[in-house]
Amino acid sequence: MMQWRYTFLGCISAVVALQLGWAQVESESAVYQPSPDLARITVPHVPGELVVGLERNDLALPIEAMEMVGTIVSSNPAINAFVVRLAPGISMHSAGEFLRALPGVRYVEPNYLAFALATPNDPNYSQQYGLARIQANLAWDIWQPQRVVHIAIIDTGIDSNHPDLTNKMRRHSNGAVYGYNTLNNTTNALDDNGHGTHCAGIAAAEINNGIGIAGVAAWNPNVANSRTFVQLMPVKVLSASGSGSLDAVARGITWAADNGAHILSMSLGAGSGAQQLQDAVNYAWNRGCLVVAAAGNSGSSAPMYPAFYTNCIAVAATDSSDTLASFSQFGSWVDIAAPGVNVLSTYPNNQYRSLSGTSMACPHVAGAAAVVWSHNPNLTNAQLRSVLETNVDPYQPYAGRTIAPNAGRLNVYRALQAAGGGGPTQPSLSSLSLNPSSVVGGNSSTGTVTLTAPAPTGGFVVNLSSSNTNVATVPSSVTVPAGATSATFTVSTRAVSSTTNVTITASAGGVSRQATLTVNPASSSVTLQSLTISPTSVMGGRSATGTVTLSGPAPAGGVVVQLVSSNPSRASVPSSVTVPAGATSATFTIRTTSVFGNVTGVTITATYNGVSRSAVLTVWF
């Protein structure tokens, strides 16, 4: 294989010339320009690695070509980005020329390095002037959270055992911290540097717990369990040295966006932009996330990435007198300022330290955003950004250095007042739905109750009943969790000899909603004939289509085929698929996840009326 790569490299110039020849037939003025970045790269990057971004069409040719010049060591399916580690003897410039000439390739760029943007300062500094400056204490007095908001700290990880942070971590039902480590693709996102823990404390250290410091988000003595409404998610993209590749950062961004983070706080930056990074920021923004990033610490107007991107709030640093810090980036691209000089916060191993940097300013804004968004969850990310950036206080320029026109220093109290919401809105029952609404007796359906507003602390209880418990049964009630607007329950059915309609009723607070479930007899003449999967091999993060086929047309009410995956963490399927009445087949989607360096065969099994059929899907990377 290695010899083939070297042979292939010898043909690169010919292939590039052929590609250029085609381009010139279409347009004599079209001239290929090799990337100067790949010919002479001055910005820190991972040696021997290229990031390749592809169009969303047939990926076979460019993926095969990437494997001819090196090894794909990482992928980000959400934005079609791949990291290629080049084979020995293949230069980044030559490989870049070849890959750029291929159809379907959007960009080829170095895997730039990002660095934490903090400078350690006096560890004995013990006053949190920043909270008073941004009037966080006044905001807490009027804060009435309506939903839980998750802040992803995309950094070196978080010491989730710190006494000022452990109660503020988002956790799975089994108590495990809800986080991710893009450096080794695990859920262990513990901080081995300190930077991420410091930023996490600024944003959301627990308040009124009798120890340590107070974070920006949030507390109100009149709100029960107020500490639970803003939760931290560690996303480790930087190593113990405080650095990491932009590929790792981009994958951290898309993971956070795909896993329920509302606010992404990035106290990191690189001196060069990258299409992969910009795509990731846009991906998060387009999914409704608010993206906040440190503006940089070089004391210049030079852009820092990702802060420079349009869909990212760039945060400068100010000191205790509201003067722009001498080290802070400035210029019209910087959107807002926040305290970032001698900021005391949490540090690993139950410690506290004071640090300076735009890294410290960034989580002030992220925490403020969480206060506002939990108070008024009806805001879009664009509206939330506007509220934060327009309700600010004046700052003092440093040596004539300024940020964007009309921009200023963060004031969470003013922003919260301007955002509205937060009233004691009491939810009521809005709707009841069943999926599927027609089943063969012995199969189940999923019921969903939806509220008009998020459930209050302690949850919202909805009572359930069935008009015919001999045919269909439901639990006596279902609880919508605090901060949520819906909950699901299972409707179990028994075999019937004739089609039977059962009315399911949900009621709460004097409001009732009903839905009808049709329960059909099983047809002994129809059996499950086959299960097929197409394609039979996919890259992790992509989907495949499963098809179940019956021996004949489905009877009235359709046929519900139960589905099971042997490895749901790699390839997940819905619990069932319904073949409509009169049809002989139905399709369903198999969703996969990416695990670098891992090829897994997952068995999908379909079962109907005691007959099972299986097929294997191969998931690679």
DSSP-assigned letters across all residues of 143-175:
----S-EEEEEEES---TTSTTTGGGB-B-TTS
Strands (E), 248-359: 263-266, 268-269, 290-294, 313-318, 336-339, 343-347, 351-356
Choose the catalytic residue: 155, 159, 191, 247. Answer: 155
Annotation: CATH topology of 117-419: Rossmann fold (3.40.50)
Q: Quick one: pLDDT band at residue 12, thresholds 50, 70, 90?
A: very low
Choose the catalytic residue: 150, 162, 195, 262. Answer: 195
Express the helix, strand and coil content of the chain in percent, nearest 5 each: 25, 35, 40
| Active-site residue, 195 included | yes
Q: How far is Cα 441 from Cα 54, in angstroms, rounded to an integer?
A: 48
| Active-site residue, 74 included | no
Choose the catalytic residue: 243, 265, 359, 565. Answer: 359
Q: How far is Cα 121 from Cα 342, in angstroms, rounded to an integer?
A: 6
Q: How far is Cα 323 from Cα 496, in angstroms, rounded to an integer?
A: 76
Q: How many CA atoms lie within 13 A of 118 on its CB side?
A: 33
| DSSP code for 323 | B
The type of residue at 548 is: V
pLDDT tens readout for residues 34-48: 343 566 666 777 778
Residue 19 has pLDDT above 70, yes or no: no
Mean pLDDT of 460-486: 93
Q: Which two tokens stand for residue 522?
A: 């099983």
Q: How far is Cα 105 from Cα 115, in angstroms, rounded to an integer?
A: 28
The pTM for the full model equals 0.62
Q: 335 and 305 in contact (C-beta within 8 Å)? A: no
pLDDT score of 499 = 86
Domain ranges in the chain with CATH number 3.40.50.200:
117-419
Q: Which two tokens stand for residue 404?
A: 């964007």
Q: Which two tokens stand for residue 361?
A: 């300013």
C-alpha closest to that of 554 among 515, 523, 587: 523
Residue 320 has pLDDT above 90, yes or no: yes
CATH architecture of 528-620: Sandwich (2.60)
| Active-site residue, 359 included | yes
pLDDT score of 325 = 97
Q: How far is Cα 561 from Cα 442, in angstroms, rounded to an integer?
A: 11
How crowded is residue 196: how many other Cβ atoms within 10 Å of its Cβ?
A: 33
Domain ranges in the chain with CATH number 3.30.70.80:
2-112
- The listed range with the strongest mean pLDDT (217-226, 436-445, 462-471, 587-596) is 462-471
Strands 585-592 and 571-572: antiparallel
pLDDT score of 597 = 72
Residue 74 has pLDDT above 70, yes or no: yes
pLDDT tens readout for residues 167-207: 999 998 889 999 999 999 899 999 999 999 999 999 999 99
Q: Which CATH superfamily is domain 2-112 in?
A: Peptidase S8 propeptide/proteinase inhibitor I9 (3.30.70.80)
Q: How far is Cα 147 from Cα 456, in angstroms, rounded to an integer?
A: 8
Domain ranges in the chain with CATH number 2.60.40.10:
429-520, 528-620
Q: Which CATH superfamily is domain 429-520 in?
A: Immunoglobulins (2.60.40.10)
Q: What is the DSSP string of 562-599?
A: EEEES-TTTEE--SEEEE-BT-SEEEEEEEE---TT-E
